[in-house]
Amino acid sequence: MAVLWFVLLGGLLTFFFGVFVWVFIQHLLTIEIPSGLKHPVKLRILHFTFQYLVTLGTILEKMRICSIPTILQFSQKLIFIKKDPNVLVTDMHFGTVPVRLFKPKEVSSKLRRGIIFYHGGGAIFGNLDVYHGLGSVLAHETDSVVLLVGYRKLPNFHYPVIHLDCLNASIHFLKNLETYGVDPSRVVISGESVGGCTVATVTQALISQGTLPQIRAQVLITPILQGTNFQLPSHQQNQNVPMITRDVIITFLCRYLSIDLAWKNAMLTGACVPLDIWKKYSKWISSGNIPQRFKGKNFHSEFLGPFNEAAYLETKHILDANVSPLLADDKIIAQLPDTFLVSCEYDPLRDDVLLYKKRLEDQGVPVGWYHAEDGFHGCISLFDKPLFSFPCSMNILNAVISYIKGV
């Protein structure tokens, strides 16, 4: 029996080591570290660890043992939560949605600003614990009541659950602001990555909710805002840059939208978009709207592949404004509140921010913008991780704090 256990253990170690070697070789061959990114060794370690977990999850998924989301979510259990003695933290549920409320302990003679925050993680990972530090810092530094929303994710929950969970949690909060000591005239909705996309969709949806307090401002940090054009300059320039590659973005998007991964190439080349629809939306999402300084020397304009009707029928819900808020009608965009946008130079999603910025400005919406020249996707979530924090992490956080304090 002991021999059997020894053989089993040896087999497992060999398997994990084999995956390690495979990912390490892939990492060296495909990953690109631009000279503008600081602390490249730390970044390589982070990216390698992420890719190792994704690859391990892919293999175990094909073996029908567990899924990629399960592996990534299990790794989050290693997160250590640092408590701030100046902030009172309360866990609760709004219906089926877990939320975490952060409130400064110091007594205030007046109602405080409210911040609703949706975390990132590609609909696969990220949770209340991973973003606990961010919620705590926002509450303390801006003297605000912060609601961190822990929406449901893959593998058990798909589109449109993130939008609905965040919308319903936000409506519940907005209906009870004074209960939480929040000034109804100073509510900010903020989020990062897929959470930034959800900020856009929820804020757009709340426009029709006339009985609720109006949102004072929205803050979108490195959001994904459309799934129609994956040939923008930032997608071309940063397709293999840490922490998240273009392939990972499309893969996570397909999983959340329940799109077969066989259609990834059609999405990449635009073959799933009918020409008439492309002409309708290209005025908002084409590379022609990107400032020249972001295009670089080797940029190639969009070239749509031959239209594939089957691909269109399987992927057409990408055109829904609740998936691609960049495609919302002008009359909706024009009613949006003051907006603060954060983009990172080395992020495949950089140009989504630039396109949304132009749309908002064209409709007269006041827009603030911070661009991290040395930033990469997801860096703000690392600000409180001592071994893996980057200068851009704190710079973005400080920019967000500064904007919110001015609201």
Instruction: Just list the catalytic residues.
Output: 193, 347, 377
Q: Which of 151, 134, 25 is nearest to 84 (CA)?
A: 134
Tokens describing residue 135: 């919620």
Q: What are phi and psi of 92, to 5 degrees?
A: -155, 180
Termini Cα distance of the chain = 67
Count of CB atoms situated within 10 Å of the CB of 381: 24
Q: Which of 179, 182, 164, 162 is nearest to 116 (CA)?
A: 182
Question: How far is residue 230's CA from residue 235's CA, in Å, rounded to a whole number?
Answer: 6
How are strands ordered across the β-sheet holding 217-221?
87-94, 97-104, 144-149, 112-118, 182-192, 217-221, 338-346, 367-376
Whether the CB-CB separation of 383 and 134 falls below 8 Å is answered with yes
Question: How far is residue 165's CA from residue 150's CA, in Å, rounded to a whole number?
Answer: 8
For residue 61, the number of C-alpha atoms closer than 13 Å in the C-beta half-sphere is: 13
Tokens describing residue 371: 């661009």
